[in-house]
Amino acid sequence: MYEFLTGPMLILTFVIFFIGIIWRTIWYFRGLSWQLDRVAYKPHLSYGIKGALRSVIFWLLPFGTRSWRFYPGTTLLVFAFHIGLLFTPVFLKAHNIILNERFGISLPTLPEGLADALTLMVIISAFFLLLRRIAYPQHRIITTAYDYLLLLIAAAPFITGFMAFHQVLNYQFWLIAHIISGEVFLVAIPLTKLSHFIGFFLSRIQLGMDYGIKRGGMKGKGMAW
């Protein structure tokens, strides 16, 4: 089972993940209207690029935007969750061993203690984000079972990985559960709302260019709108 999951199944998972991300990117830009969204981008590209970079950078900084500052507690939870979600699996030593064995790829690795702390940070953040959705009516009313499932899909690889690393009860069970949940997570990214993994950057680039050119960014530069 282990050989299959870390061999053919892992390859299929990466194929679906990367093709899905490329498909999402292409169809995002194809879905933009030439009349409404892109008509000014090409002739004013330099202003657009400045606006896009500003938009992405400020939204990637904790408290870098007014929205982040308005809900500081939620901001800390969101950043803690996503930082651990991204860096832990990419730079985990055990994952890089598998990547090196299967594909000849090796990345820098995190110390085990730091990786363990980041894993706990994801689990705790996910728990409080779940409580937030349940506790606040304005969030609860727009939350469906689908949203709870996506949060579980995102957190499951970390929960099972933590249990496997600390060899709680049946190590082999948690190891297999960790691999399966991790591959489900990767496949779900381009196929579900988890596609904001790439959609965040695409939308921030588009909106940044929009504001950098049309909505005050070129004020006094002869832009008619």
Q: For each successive 10 residues of the chain (225 residues), what is the average pLDDT? A: 80 92 86 60 71 83 80 85 88 84 82 90 92 84 88 94 88 91 93 88 82 63 55
- The domain spanning residue 18 has which CATH number? 1.20.950
CA distance 20 to 190: 5
CB 216, CB 39: distance < 8 Å? no
Residue 225 lies in a domain: no
Per-residue pLDDT, 222 = 57
Assigned domain for 53 exists:
yes
Q: Report yes or no on 220 lying in a domain.
A: no
Q: Please report whether residue 30 resides in a domain.
A: yes
What's the CA gap between 185 and 85, in Å, rounded? Answer: 11
Where in the sequence is the domain holding 176, given as residue range(s)? 2-213
**pLDDT given for residue 179 in this prediction:** 92
Is 219 a member of any domain? no
Q: How far apart are CA 85 and CA 165, in angstroms?
A: 17
What is the Cα–Cα distance from 136 to 66, expressed in whole angstroms? 21
CA 172 to chain centre: 28
Please report the pLDDT score of residue 221 as a whole number. 58
- Cα 223 to Cα 225: distance, rounded to the nearest angstrom: 6
Q: What is the pLDDT of residue 215?
A: 62
User: What is residue 203's predicted lDDT score, i.e. its pLDDT?
Assistant: 84
According to the model, what pLDDT value does residue 74 have? Answer: 83
Rounded Cα distance between 105 and 78, Å, is 30
pTM above 0.85, yes or no: no
- Could you tell me if residue 178 is inside a domain? yes
Structural domain count of the chain: 1
Q: What is the dihedral of CA 89, 94, 95, 96, to 10 degrees?
A: 110
